[in-house]
Amino acid sequence: MRDQCYNQLAMRRARSTSLIVFCLLAGLQLQAASHKKALEKHIGAILSQPDLGRGFWGIEVVSLQNGKVLYSQNADKLFTPASNTKLFTTAAALALIGPNYNFRTTVETSGNLDKHGRLTGDLVLVGRGDPNLSGRELPYALHTARNEHPIQVLEQLADELVRKGVKYVDGDIVADDSYFAFERYGEGWSQDDLVWDYGAPVSALTINDNVVFVNILPGDRVGERAFVSITPFADYYRIDNRIITTPGGTERKIFINREPGSTLLTLWGNVPLNDAGASEDLAIEDPAEFAATLFRGLLQARGISVYGRQRTRHTELASLSTFTVTASAPARGGDESVRSLPNQALVLASYQSMPLIEDVRVINKVSQNLHAEILLRLLGREKGNAGTVEGGLEVLKGFLNQVGVPGDQYVFYDGSGLSRQNLVTPHAVVQLLRYAALQSWGASFRDTLPVSGVDGSLSDRFKSLDLQGQVYAKTGSLGGVKSLSGYVTTKHGEQFAFSVLSNNFNLPSKRVTDAIDNVVQAIVEGK
């Protein structure tokens, strides 16, 4: 009898526990449904404004915990993603190449160095894709910092040659960027982009982000030409300076033009007498030629005599399966065949980069286009058939297949997002973000993204205390395009992957950015 009563009591308790669990689950489901409905209403109110409604919006918000969709609008439609493209390039690099990969730049020769310091062969500066042969200070901390030595790595290599006893070079100074194909620009880039730092040409031998710094100061008196100076190589561009100094208090107006393929800079406009001056980062034309000129000058400044000429060694796309060609500076390309360095070339000086993760942080925090393009070509070189855009995109396609992103949800033509021909769905972006979050490198990947109200391209957004540090996301911007995708933690501690892509706007940039931020804020606040 006692056992029977005990069993009945246990059954009643089990039923009671089951009922409590059922009620809790039902309550949670109702709460989730209410949360979802409230968010749909809030986002709908944000985007229903007439000016915003004329554009095209794509949004998806998905729980990292269970994969459930909290919000979706046009999530399977294709959008121009702008720099959200970098999420795909950097994630693939961390997954396939690894966060600890190091770039190596060397100075080599196929000749001999005798006891008198005479080098009988060519001296070859070999680039293998290091994007940080510059004055950028790493690791990245809150914002990009540059020291006053933009060519410090070249200086270190030149100093190492002096220590090795090199005094004479009978051969040529060769700048070799053949590790990647001579494919400087992406398909779909605008001609206007190629003048500026964000459209700098891509090369396996990249010095100072392949830009020069143009500094403009007012003249001493009204009516005089402004002072224009260029670093780190003052003679790289010819300057046609038409900028006039105007009375104090007038508006500064400066215009710059460089035709593609030209090394002539034309500057015009005016700068006020009391103006603090302006600085512009302008792209160079041929990075290897630039490096060869700089390196030769550094050697000569250290007392090393060079009897040969300076030239570049490129890998032309048409010759990838046959041979490497060379070009005598300042020509772009050429048809003079040269033998490649043997596998056992004598390495006279070398430089090794910091781990790859440090550059991925730079790419995502400040949206560095050139470095993202280098990563795409590195994917092709290390994991595909060639260091080309096509080779890198093929590797990226295979990676996304593993991630579970269907091929009809994206079209990429470059690795940075500067191409207007790139297309991707919000769902593809979120799928990538969810996949990355589950990988061993996922936390490192998330930490490379700008943090709301803290650093990178989000340092001046989401400044309220409730939002600061709650959003890790990549920004994107082109004319008529704004995007933001990444990870968000709600005030209840829930974590979501999200993507907000907007296209076809003819509005002030801040208007669209504020709308995106309001959408994300609604997610954080859970309403």
- Phi, psi (deg, nearest 5) at residue 24: -65, -45
- Quick: pLDDT tens for 210-237: 999 999 999 999 999 999 999 998 888 9
For residues 347 and 361, membership in a common domain is answered with no
Of residues 527, 364, 358, 499, the one with CA closest to residue 434: 499
Q: Which two tokens stand for residue 278?
A: 């302006």
- Residue 72 known to be catalytic: no
For residues 328 and 217, membership in a common domain is answered with yes
Residue 20 is assigned to a structural domain of this protein: no
**Number of domains, the chain:** 2
Q: What is the mean pLDDT of residues 467-471?
A: 93
- Quick: pLDDT tens for 48-77: 999 998 999 999 999 999 999 999 999 999
Catalytic residue (one of 367, 419, 457, 477): 367
Residue 6 is assigned to a structural domain of this protein: no
Is the distance from CB of 126 to CB of 176 less than 8 angstroms?
Answer: yes
CATH number at residue 72: 3.40.710.10
For residues 292 and 214, membership in a common domain is answered with yes
Contacts of 508 (CB under 8 A, 6+ apart): none
Higher pLDDT, 348 or 27: 348
For residues 319 and 410, membership in a common domain is answered with no
Q: What is the mean pLDDT of residues 17-29?
A: 55
Residue 46 is assigned to a structural domain of this protein: yes
- Quick: pLDDT tens for 408-461: 999 999 999 999 999 999 999 999 999 999 999 999 999 999 999 999 999 999
Q: What is the mean pLDDT of residues 480-485?
A: 97
For residues 262 and 136, membership in a common domain is answered with yes
Single-letter amino acid code for the residue at 159? D
For the cut 50, the answer to whether the pLDDT of residue 47 exceeds it is yes
Place 191 in a pLDDT band, splitting at 50, 70 and 90: confident
CATH number at residue 216: 3.50.80.20
Of residues 261, 382, 391, 398, the one with CA closest to residue 320: 391
For residues 301 and 418, membership in a common domain is answered with no
- Lowest-confidence region among 1-5, 284-288, 420-424: 1-5
- Lowest-confidence region among 115-119, 139-143, 205-209, 419-423: 139-143
Out of 310, 328, 352, a domain closes at: 352
For residues 53 and 87, membership in a common domain is answered with yes
Q: Which two tokens stand for residue 268?
A: 């015009």
- Residue 499 known to be catalytic: no
Dihedral angle over CA of 518, 520, 524, 527, nearest 10? 60
For residues 277 and 215, membership in a common domain is answered with yes
For residues 64 and 113, membership in a common domain is answered with no
Out of 320, 352, 384, a domain closes at: 352
For residues 288 and 213, membership in a common domain is answered with yes
Residue 451 is assigned to a structural domain of this protein: yes
Residue 12 is assigned to a structural domain of this protein: no
For the cut 60, the answer to whether the pLDDT of residue 490 exceeds it is yes
Q: What is the mean pLDDT of the chain?
A: 90
pLDDT of residue 25: 52
Out of 352, 376, 410, a domain closes at: 352
Give the residue numbers spanning the domain of 439. Answer: 36-98+355-525
- Lowest-confidence region among 70-74, 146-150, 270-274: 146-150
Residue 436 is assigned to a structural domain of this protein: yes
- Would you list the DSSP string of 11-55? HHHHHHHHHHHHHHHHHHHHHHHHHHHHHHHHHHHHHTSHHHHTS
Residues in the chain: 527
For the cut 80, the answer to whether the pLDDT of residue 400 exceeds it is yes
Is the distance from CB of 63 to CB of 70 less than 8 angstroms?
Answer: yes
For residues 315 and 391, membership in a common domain is answered with no
pLDDT of residue 328: 33
- Residue 63 known to be catalytic: no
Of residues 452, 488, 475, 473, the one with CA closest to residue 70: 488
For residues 400 and 260, membership in a common domain is answered with no
Residue 171 is assigned to a structural domain of this protein: yes
